[in-house]
Structure 1
Amino acid sequence: MKMPDDEIRAIVAEALAEQHRLQQESIDTILKAVASVLASFGIENDDRKELRADFQHLRRWRKSVEQAQSYTFKALITVIVTGLAGAVWFGVKAVLGK
């Protein structure tokens, strides 16, 4: 017994529509859960732009602190190496001067 093509298409379309509906319900549920969690932290739906700006500011601050730490580390290494080179130089000068 062979099913007509129109009937097969209708069944497939119905199955796809049901799957789409279920996915949309899942997405809606997830979005509601995320909004609920954010609201529990005091972040309302209207605060998204401000929240994004806050995170961008925090990222810039973190990067500047990391850069300052890198420069501080490099400066510290430079001071230590310069001190050791000076100590060696004075040691060589003292040995050659005697």
Structure 2
Amino acid sequence: MKLPDDEIRAIVTETLAEHQRFQQESIDAIVLKAVSSVLASFGIEDDDRRELRADFQHLRRWRKSVEQAQSYTFKAVITVIATGLMGAVWLGVKVVLGK
């Protein structure tokens, strides 16, 4: 009894798809175990995820506020320098016109 080509293709396709799912599940399990091991080596347990997320959110807010402060500081320094130059030019003009 010979199977039609369509049935053979369907069986092979299903077998390959099942093998792919099995491999993906194995890979996911290995990656999850590796990540858990690395986090555990840093002292971060699975139960600490919520706290860890809050810590990272706090660090992000802190970094953004520092970046914003640096931006404001840079703008303030540029403003002071520009104002000083304008004042020096103005005094120079007054001295030249005053003579």
Same fold at TM > 0.5: yes
* Structure 1, gaps ≥5 residues long: none
Corresponding letter in the other structure for 1:39: A
- In structure 1, the residue matched to 2:45 is 44
Task: Indicate whether 1:71 and 2:72 are aligned.
Answer: yes
Corresponding letter in the other structure for 1:3: L
* Count of aligned pairs: 98
Q: Aligned-pair distance for 1:23?
A: 1.2
Take 1:97 and 1:18, find their aligned partners in 2: how far apart are those partners? Answer: 93
1:6-45 equivalence runs, <5 A: 6-45=7-46
Equivalent pairs: percent with the same residue? 67
- In structure 1, the residue matched to 2:90 is 89
For residues 67-94 of structure 1, what are the alpha-carbon distances to aligned partners after superposition, in whole Å with 9 as ceiling and x for unaligned?
Answer: 0000000000000000010011111101
Structure 2 length-normalised TM: 0.89
Q: Aligned-pair distance for 1:95?
A: 1.0
Take 2:8 and 2:85, find their aligned partners in 1: how far apart are those partners? Answer: 88
Take 1:61 and 1:17, find their aligned partners in 2: how far apart are those partners? Answer: 47
Take 1:94 and 1:8, find their aligned partners in 2: how far apart are those partners? Answer: 96
- In structure 1, the residue matched to 2:3 is 3
For residues 28-60 of structure 1, what are the alpha-carbon distances to aligned partners after superposition, in whole Å with 9 as ceiling and x for unaligned?
Answer: 001100110011011111111111111111111
